[in-house]
Amino acid sequence: MARAARSRTSPPDPPGRPRLRLPGPRRRPAVRDRSGAAGRPPTALHRRTRRPAPDSTLAPPARPYTRALGLLAVSLLGAWLGLLLLGGVRAPVGPMDTTMALRPALTGGTRITVPPLGDLELDSHRAPVRLDVAVDRLDPVRSAALVDHPERFAGLQQQVTRDVLRGAAGLVVTSCAAVAGGATALGLVVYRRPRRALAAGGLALALLAASGAAACATWNPKSVLEPRFSGLLSSAPSVVGTARSIVSEFDVYQKELARLVTNVSKLYDAASTLPAYRPDPTTLRVLHVSDIHLNPASWHIIASLVKQYRIGVIIDTGDTMDHGSAAENHFLDPVSALGAPYVWVRGNHDSRTTQRYLTGRRHVTVLDDGRVTQVAGVRIAGVGDPQFTPDRSVVAAGDAAERTAGGRLADALRTQRLAGTPVDIALAHNPAAAAEADGLVPLALAGHLHQRVISTLPQGTRLMVEGSTGGGGLRAVQDKQPAPVQASVLYLDRTTRRLQAWDEITLGGLGLTRAEVSRHLPRENQPGAPGGTPSPGPPTTPSDRPG
């Protein structure tokens, strides 16, 4: 077999002899290696395993950090585009329609746009996203509902809170979808690979979550006190002052006004030229206030008067609130710390909710339906106003309802007189109701008119209508001249519990610092007049004897 195999190779032809080619399979040419030596042709195995020579013209593969930076750039750009195109939500907030959106920003913060007035910027947080809130319009239907039904103000605070939380939740969901969708779409365009595109979307979502965590960690609720204005709103600080100065200066104003009352009272007491009546330390002093209408400065003034005059009991003839909503209830918290017992009757701006809240306060006595109480030795009866005028859904009943309520008060006064325990002072908010006590009590107190009116009723009862101790409350900014702040100190004989004299305290309205104190005497206590109870007669002028 070996010989046969070797015989297949023909011996070389002798020189000079032509070479004969026999028919058969054609031989493959020899393949030379790089050294030039001939060798066998490469087999199929060789062709498969042989690697091509490296080509110096091809680019080197990208490094890992270069790919990461590229992915980060695609994620940020896609997230930014997604927020711009899809990141806003429309949300109703109370009576307003707003648009909320997250926008990329280096310093964060909140921007509130109020067209056409301008922008209000707050340093609310430090994060690479800014919250933009645009007030689009005031919805006429919801606004008209509030105007026609002011009782809905009671739930407005809770409604606004719910609306803001609902809008914020919708904004979070929309922003997450926007950044993830924008980064994924841009990743498909750039990489043309689904896995890389999904990685870009996930990275964008993680960046948004980190920004939200940074915003929560750096949240500054006090930023509302230092806003920055632009547009027409830029003139707002020069007109009304900054929010911080308004808060701080108003607090200073309240304290200075109370101090002014104290100083003027001391001056009056030291330099009084009215020797006809000098109250001795045993005289019972009653402070009559009314129609505070949510003015917080009133509590400072009342506390100062209680301390200076050594007040034994405070009587409030109503309209302490403005809308009688539950949100206003905390305004009443200082009544327990004024330094004297507080007796209160409901006004036409005070709701039953207000009355229930005050009923549970310490040192507070609420009178209604002719209820009688004895405070500091004085027997007092009162009736609440039967009307609640902020409720526009109910037609006002007018003076007829007031006289009916006054009739219930008169019945209670007659019952007490027959029982041998006559009442010393009758209380009602409306003078029409208080007038029904004529002849049944020596003194009746009321408010409602926002001005002092003192008169003697036909059957001898003295009716004293107090002005507004809150200076008209929020209504003080509606008139050309602010309404004065008024209160009265009543001096009662501790034995007979009859009115001996009264001081009228009048302060300048909102922003004013004028203070006046004047003393007045009933006719029977004036020099040369015999003492006794008030006699029947026509109504007198607001001051029987000014001091």
Q: Which residue has the higher pLDDT, 337 or 85?
A: 337
CB 469 within 8 A of CB 485: yes
Tokens of 275: 């020797």
Please give the pLDDT value at position 541. Answer: 35
Please give the pLDDT value at position 147. Answer: 61
Q: Which residue has the higher pLDDT, 235 or 351?
A: 351
Q: Which residue has the higher pLDDT, 450 or 41?
A: 450
Q: Which residue has the higher pLDDT, 307 or 425?
A: 425
Share of the chain above pLDDT 70, in %: 69
Q: Which of 263, 251, 265 is nearest to 505 (CA)?
A: 265
**CA gap 545, 525 in Å, rounded:** 10
Q: What is the mean pLDDT of residues 399-412?
A: 95
The owner of tokens 């001795």 is 280
Other CB atoms closer than 10 Å to residue 243's CB: what's the count? 16
Please give the pLDDT value at position 417. Answer: 95
Q: Which of 472, 475, 422 is nearest to 447 (CA)?
A: 472
pLDDT band at 191 (very low <50, low <70, confident <90, very high): confident
Per-residue pLDDT of 22-50, as tens digits, reads 555 555 555 455 545 555 555 544 555 45
Q: What is the identity of the amino acid at 85?
A: L
| Cβ-proximal residues to 214 (8 Å cutoff; 6+ apart), any chain | 108, 125, 126, 127, 128
The region of weakest confidence among 68-82, 150-164, 232-246, 306-320 is: 232-246
Domains by residue range for the chain, with CATH: 66-235 (no CATH), 244-390+398-525 (3.60.21.10)
The DSSP-derived string for 411-478 is HHHHHHHHTT---SEEE-SSHHHHGGGTTT-SEEEE-SSSS-EEEE-TTS-EEEE---TTTTGGGGGT
Q: What is the mean pLDDT of residues 493-522?
A: 81
Task: Judge whether residue 13 has pLDDT over 80.
Answer: no
CA 232 remoteness from chain centre = 23
CB 282 within 8 A of CB 393: no
CB 412 within 8 A of CB 372: yes
Q: What is the mean pLDDT of residues 175-202?
A: 89
Q: What is the mean pLDDT of residues 301-330?
A: 91
pLDDT band at 165 (very low <50, low <70, confident <90, very high): confident
CB 77 within 8 A of CB 186: yes
Tokens of 213: 């965590």
Task: Judge whether residue 310 has pLDDT over 60.
Answer: yes
